[in-house]
Amino acid sequence: MSLITMSTDIEKRARETIKLIIVKLDDGLIKSKFDEPISRITRGFQYEVKQHIDHKTFHRIIADFIQQIYDKGLKSSLMLADPLAEAISLLENHYQSATYGNGYAAAILDANDADEGGIQTVLTSLAELIKDIERQKYISALFAYHLPGCDWDLLCEIARILLQDYGPFMPERLARCVPAQIAGQIQSIILGYIGSDSVLQQISFFSEKPSTAEIRFNRQLL
């Protein structure tokens, strides 16, 4: 195989990789995978509570809620080993109350405070936390699959294309780099600049006559 053929082949692979990643990062696609089914479960979730929610009732509701999100919403093949432990961990580490501080204890206080939205506030917060977690898992897996760290030549070619096609939309400090310098930052660059709405807006209104870089960028989104 000649050097020209090898060069053409790796450029094709690199461009296909960039295209696939950008397509799979589409906001509408991610929302359909995670946000919409989780929101549907949140809206339809039914529970019965008395005026005061004790710990036992609180635990039953939050465990059942996230179990339904994964089973009926996300239709995950991975069964939660302990839905209650998962729910408590999410609340303890991420829950933020407007009145009672942060963590699991604050969530229970909110659940018993109608002025703070009651238990529905806690469930909505859990739903948003799970959306964030599942989005991040999806994005991490996407880049791990399409950017194999062992293929340095492919990573450098992807970096070269990013600099060539999208350099005008990157900070100057990145645009002046050589491919090898940013080969390890491809995920951050794509998420931070190439896939952002601000870049798309710049491309749309950059000029009446699109540049070669703009044309190539739009082709990547097809």
Write out pLDDT tens, residues 128-185.
999 999 999 999 999 999 998 778 999 999 999 999 998 988 899 999 999 999 999 9
Task: Describe the crossing of helices 119-146 and 3-24 by its angle, rounded to 10 degrees.
Answer: 170
Q: What is the pLDDT of residues 79-130, one digit of tens each?
A: 678 999 999 999 999 999 999 999 999 999 999 999 999 999 999 999 999 9
**In angstroms, what is the C-alpha Rg of the chain?**
23
From CA 218, how far away is CA 222, in angstroms rounded?
Answer: 7
* Residue whose pair of structure tokens reads 């806690």 in the numeric block: 122
Question: For residue 194, is pLDDT > 80?
Answer: no
pLDDT for residue 215? 32
Q: Which residues contact 157 (CB under 8 A, 6 or more apart)?
A: 10, 11, 13, 14, 179
> Beta partners for 101?
97
The pTM of the whole model exceeds 0.85: no
Question: For residue 41, is pLDDT > 90?
Answer: yes
Mean pLDDT, the chain, integer:
85
pLDDT for residue 36? 97
pLDDT for residue 6? 55
Question: For residue 31, is pLDDT > 90?
Answer: yes
Read off the tokens for 73. 């919403």
**Stretch among 80-89, 196-205, 210-219 having the lowest mean pLDDT:** 210-219
